[in-house]
Amino acid sequence: MLRGKRRGVPCHGDTINAFVAPVNFDEVHKAAWNFLWLAFALFATGYGSFTCFAITAERQMKKMRCECLKHIMYQDMGWYDQRDMSELASRISGDTVKIKEGLGDKLGEALGYFCQFLSGYIIGFSKGWNLSLVMACVMPLMSVSIGFLMKRMRESTARSQKAYAGAGAVAEETIGAMRTVASLNGESRAMAKYPANVAEAETVTIGVSKFVALAFGWVFFLMWLTYAFGLWYGGWLVSKQNQIIPDPRTVLSVFYGILLGTLAVGQIGPNVNAMSSAKGAATALFNILARKSDIDASDMSGEIPPTCEGNIQARDVHFTYPSRPEDPILRGYSLTIKKGETVAFVGASGSGKSTLVALLERFYQPTSGAIYLDGRDISTLQLKWLRSQIGLVSQEPVLFAATIFENIAPGGDNISRDQVIAAAKLANAHDFIMGLPDGYDTMCGEKGATLSGGQKQRVAIARALVRQPKILVLDEATSALDNESERVVQDAINNLMTHTDMTTIVIAHRLSTIRSADQIAVISKGVVAELGRHDELMRLENGFYRSLIELQANAPTVKDGHRPVEEYKRHVLMASEDGHGKALSDRKSSSASQASVGKSIEYVGTVEKEVKLGRIFELTKPQRLFFVLGVIASCLLGFSMPGISLIISKIISDMNLHFAAFVNSGTKDLTPLSTLYDSVANSSYIFFGIAVAILVASFVQTYTFRVIAEKRSQWRWKDITLDGRDISTLNLHWLRSQIGLVGQEPVLFVGTIAENIASGLSDSVPSTDLQERVEEAAKMANAHNFIMQFPDGYQTQVGLKGEQLSGGQKQRIAIARAIMKNPSILLLDEATSALDSESEKVVQEALDKLLAAKGRTTIVIAHRLSTIRNADKICVVSGGRIAEQGTHDELLRLNGIYTRLVLTNKKIG
358 shares a domain with 233: no
Determine the pLDDT at residue 434.
92
Return the half-sphere exposure (C-beta side, CA atoms, 13 A cut-off) of residue 814. Answer: 31
> What SS3 class is residue 857?
strand
Q: How confident is the model at residue 746 (pLDDT cuts 50, 70, 90)?
A: confident
Determine the pLDDT at residue 26.
74
Do residues 11 and 38 lie in contact, with contact meaning Cβ atoms separated by under 8 Å? yes
User: Alpha carbon of 268 to those of 116, 663, 693: distances in Å?
Assistant: 10, 12, 57
> What SS3 class is residue 505?
strand
Is 657 within a domain?
no
Say how many C-beta atoms besides its own lie within 10 A of residue 835's C-beta. 24
Say how many C-beta atoms besides its own lie within 10 A of residue 738's C-beta. 21
Determine the pLDDT at residue 130.
82
Determine the pLDDT at residue 413.
67
Is 332 within a domain?
yes
Flag whether pLDDT at 620 surpasses 60: no
Answer with the one of 823, 858, 878 that is the final residue of a domain: 823
Is 331 within a domain?
yes
Is 718 within a domain?
no
Flag whether pLDDT at 626 surpasses 80: no
User: Which one is predicted more confidently, 379 or 616?
Assistant: 379
Residue by residue, DSSP assigns 332-401 as EEEEEE-TT-EEEEEESTTSSHHHHHHHHTTSS--SEEEEEETTEEGGGB-HHHHHHTEEEE-SS----S
When pLDDT is averaged across residues 305-323 and rounded to a whole number, the result is 88
474 shares a domain with 431: yes
433 shares a domain with 521: yes
User: Alpha carbon of 865 to those of 558, 568, 905: distances in Å?
Assistant: 10, 19, 7
**Cα Dmax for the chain:** 123
Determine the pLDDT at residue 768.
63
User: Which one is predicted more confidently, 870 or 609?
Assistant: 870
Do residues 741 and 795 lie in contact, with contact meaning Cβ atoms separated by under 8 Å? no
Amino acid at 391: G
Is the pTM higher than 0.95?
Answer: no
pLDDT in tens, 88-145: 776 777 788 888 878 777 787 888 888 888 888 888 888 888 888 887 777 777 767 7
Residue by residue, DSSP assigns 681-695 as GG-EEE--S--HHHH
Determine the pLDDT at residue 602.
42
> What SS3 class is residue 766?
coil
pLDDT in tens, 148-162: 766 666 666 666 666
542 shares a domain with 422: yes
Q: How confident is the model at residue 571 (pLDDT cuts 50, 70, 90)?
A: very low
Return the half-sphere exposure (C-beta side, CA atoms, 13 A cut-off) of residue 592. Answer: 9
Q: Residue 374 maps to which CATH number? A: 3.40.50.300
Please name the residues in contact with 571: beta carbons below 8 A apart, sequence gap of 6 or more. 851, 857, 858, 860, 870, 871, 872, 873
DSSP 8-class letter at 95: I
Do residues 672 and 624 lie in contact, with contact meaning Cβ atoms separated by under 8 Å? no
Residue 28 Rama label (left phi>0; alpha psi -120 to 50; beta): alpha
Flag whether pLDDT at 568 surpasses 50: no
Please name the residues in contact with 59: beta carbons below 8 A apart, sequence gap of 6 or more. none
321 shares a domain with 288: no
Determine the pLDDT at residue 80.
77
Q: b or e along 90-115 (b: 16 or more beta carbons within 10 Å of the residue's beta carbon)?
A: bbbeebbebbbbbbbbbbbbbbbbbb
Say how many C-beta atoms besides its own lie within 10 A of residue 362's C-beta. 20
pLDDT in tens, 175-194: 666 656 665 566 666 666 66
Determine the pLDDT at residue 169.
64
Answer with the one of 823, 857, 890 that is the final residue of a domain: 823
Do residues 327 and 369 lie in contact, with contact meaning Cβ atoms separated by under 8 Å? no
Is 501 within a domain?
yes
pLDDT in tens, 446-501: 778 788 777 888 888 888 888 778 888 888 776 656 666 667 666 666 666 666 67
Determine the pLDDT at residue 104.
79
Residue 531 is inside which H or E element, if any? strand 527-532
User: Which one is predicted more confidently, 242 or 136?
Assistant: 136
Q: Which of 28-32, 318-322, 429-433, 642-646 has the lowest mean pLDDT?
A: 642-646
347 shares a domain with 266: no
Determine the pLDDT at residue 223.
73
User: Which one is predicted more confidently, 493 or 532?
Assistant: 532
Distance separating alpha carbons of residues 374 and 368, to the nearest angstrom: 20
452 shares a domain with 328: yes
User: Alpha carbon of 163 to those of 81, 90, 174, 521, 663: distances in Å?
Assistant: 19, 11, 17, 46, 24
Angle at alpha carbon of residue 812, lines to 809 and 816, rounded to 5°: 140
Determine the pLDDT at residue 268.
76
99 shares a domain with 214: yes
318 shares a domain with 285: no
When pLDDT is averaged across residues 872-880 and rounded to a whole number, the result is 79
Determine the pLDDT at residue 638.
61
> What SS3 class is residue 878?
strand
User: Which one is predicted more confidently, 719 or 589?
Assistant: 719
Q: Which of 404-408, 547-551, 569-573, 665-669 has the lowest mean pLDDT?
A: 665-669
Q: How confident is the model at residue 285 (pLDDT cuts 50, 70, 90)?
A: confident
User: Which one is predicted more confidently, 381 or 109?
Assistant: 381
Helix and strand numbers (H, E) in the chain are: 34, 22
pLDDT in tens, 320-364: 888 777 778 888 888 899 988 889 998 877 778 888 888 888 888
Number of separate domains in the chain: 3
Determine the pLDDT at residue 373.
92
Q: Tell whether omega for the bond before 437 is within 30 degrees of 0, i.e. cis.
A: no
378 shares a domain with 277: no
Distance separating alpha carbons of residues 612 and 699, to the nearest angstrom: 45
Q: How confident is the model at residue 846 (pLDDT cuts 50, 70, 90)?
A: low
Do residues 686 and 607 lie in contact, with contact meaning Cβ atoms separated by under 8 Å? no
Residue 755's nearest CA partner among 802, 825, 822, 709 is 802
Any alpha helices (H) in 74-186, and if so which ranges?
A: 77-81, 85-90, 96-103, 105-127, 129-135, 139-176, 178-183
Flag whether pLDDT at 372 surpasses 90: yes
Please provide the distance, in angstroms rounded to a whole number, between the alpha carbons at the two ends of the chain. Answer: 80
Determine the pLDDT at residue 764.
54
Is 575 within a domain?
no
365 shares a domain with 457: yes
Answer with the one of 770, 803, 823 that is the final residue of a domain: 823
Q: Residue 40 maps to which CATH number? A: 1.20.1560.10
Is 454 within a domain?
yes
Determine the pLDDT at residue 440.
92
Helix, strand, coil percent values for the chain (each to nearest 5):
55, 15, 30
Determine the pLDDT at residue 670.
32
Is 641 within a domain?
no
318 shares a domain with 260: no
Domain span at 810: 747-823
Determine the pLDDT at residue 312.
92
Q: Which of 336-345, 638-647, 682-691, 829-838 has the lowest mean pLDDT?
A: 682-691
